[in-house]
């Protein structure tokens, strides 16, 4: 089976490429390397260094590879940038998606999996939100993800393509980019391992649903290789609440232990508290009952295990970088 991954040099896309390659699938990658890295995907994969906003280049790549399934991870991921530049956000997240969908339909691709977001679609929720929750995106980023799902439904109806939207909660794990508007886990690990003080916004009582990247990969693999028909949307999360203070405390202990094991004389400072960030949701959780019932998926990695594994990866990267 030939599977094309857009954004396959990125954090999640690279892990998906590794998993599919190890299982024996033929893989191709589309990525403009604006945030991704070549080392994130297997060397055996076909690689097209193009931007999804380039309709002609996307069309040519899909005509050459003729994927049976597409896993669309490429995206403009910054909520704050989407507020500053809603036109850029729409160009990448809506027009870029349409370019890939059109090209996939033209070459007869049967299945299309799209990285959506449970974290921005449902708004403020204190109990795990099911997929039946009325979407209420407030940022251009959230609006573009919601629009993307509607385009998936259109292409399913119009072209008979089986499409799946995976609504991720807060994904974290090894390889996550700590720069720009990245996940808080990657930012905290990078600062703590460097002996710099990590800063929590406001009082830190911001409850989120943290899902480990390996579990997200498994959800993508099941969606890509499953037999769902038409359009489907699934949450990919744990339903377990973790606030930022708990996260920071756990990472501080893990990072200090990693430094000690590597005999690195760095002390992790106490976490600071900065000003609250306007617009941050107090609570956002999603349920996974639907994907469990229909795709036999559930999160396997407990947050404490995932945080430890992530701290270990960032610590090893720090050691490798400092070794001549």
pLDDT at 319: 76
- CATH T-level assignment (fold) for domain 174-208+241-322: UDP-galactose 4-epimerase; domain 1 (3.90.25)
CATH topology for 2-171+212-236 is Rossmann fold (3.40.50)
Question: Which residues lie below 8 Å from residue 38, measured CB to CB, with a gap of 6+?
Answer: 9, 47
Q: How many residues does the chain have?
A: 324
Nearest to 58 by CA among 17, 78, 39, 30: 30
Give the per-residue pLDDT at 307: 98
Active site residues: 141
- How many angstroms from the chain centroid is the CA of residue 96? 17
Please give the Cα distance from 318 to 65 (Å, whole number): 37
Rg, Å, the chain Cα set: 19
For the chain, domain boundaries: 2-171+212-236, 174-208+241-322
Report the pLDDT value the prediction gives residue 322, as an integer from 0 to 100.
Answer: 65
The secondary structure of residue 95, as a DSSP letter, is I
Nearest to 219 by CA among 121, 295, 124: 295
Place of tokens 């799902």: 149
Segment-wise mean pLDDT, segments of 10 residues, the chain, 324 residues: 97 98 97 94 96 98 98 93 95 98 98 94 92 92 96 98 97 88 87 95 94 98 96 97 96 96 91 86 94 98 98 89 62
Res 138: pLDDT: 86
Q: Do strands 69-72 and 242-243 pair parallel, antiparallel, or not at all (unpaired)?
A: unpaired
């Amino acid at each position: 089976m030939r599977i094309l991954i857009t954004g396959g040099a990125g954090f999640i896309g690279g892990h998906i490429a590794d998993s599919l390659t190890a299982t024996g699938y033929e893989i191709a990658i589309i990525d403009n390397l604006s945030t991704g890295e070549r080392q994130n995907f297997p060397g055996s994969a076909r690689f097209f260094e193009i931007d999804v906003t380039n309709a002609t280049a996307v069309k040519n790549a899909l005509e050459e590879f003729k994927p049976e399934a597409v896993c669309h991870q490429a995206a403009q991921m910054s909520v704050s940038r989407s507020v500053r530049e809603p036109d850029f956000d729409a160009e990448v997240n809506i027009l870029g998606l349409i370019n890939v969908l059109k090209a996939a339909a033209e070459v007869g691709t049967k299945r299309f999996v799209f990285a959506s977001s449970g974290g921005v679609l449902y708004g403020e929720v204190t109990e795990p939100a099911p997929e039946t929750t009325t979407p209420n995106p407030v940022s251009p980023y959230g609006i573009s993800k919601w629009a993307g799902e509607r385009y998936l439904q259109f292409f399913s109806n119009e072209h008979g393509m089986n499409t799946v939207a995976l609504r991720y909660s807060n994904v974290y794990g090894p390889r996550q980019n700590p720069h720009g508007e990245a996940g808080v886990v990657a930012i905290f690990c990078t600062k703590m391992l460097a002996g710099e003080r990590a800063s929590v916004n406001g009082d830190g009582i911001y409850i989120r649903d943290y899902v480990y990247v390996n579990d997200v990969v498994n959800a993508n693999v099941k969606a890509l290789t499953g037999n769902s028909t038409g359009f489907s949307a699934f949450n990919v999360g744990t339903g377990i609440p973790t606030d930022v203070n708990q996260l920071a405390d756990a990472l501080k202990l893990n990072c200090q232990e990693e430094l000690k094991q590597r005999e690195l004389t760095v002390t992790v400072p106490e976490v600071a508290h900065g000003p609250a960030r306007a617009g941050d949701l107090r609570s956002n959780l999603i349920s996974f009952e639907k994907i469990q019932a229909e795709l036999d998926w559930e999160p396997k990695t407990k947050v404490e295990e995932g945080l430890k594994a992530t701290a270990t990866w960032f610590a090893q990267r720090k050691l490798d970088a400092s070794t001549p």
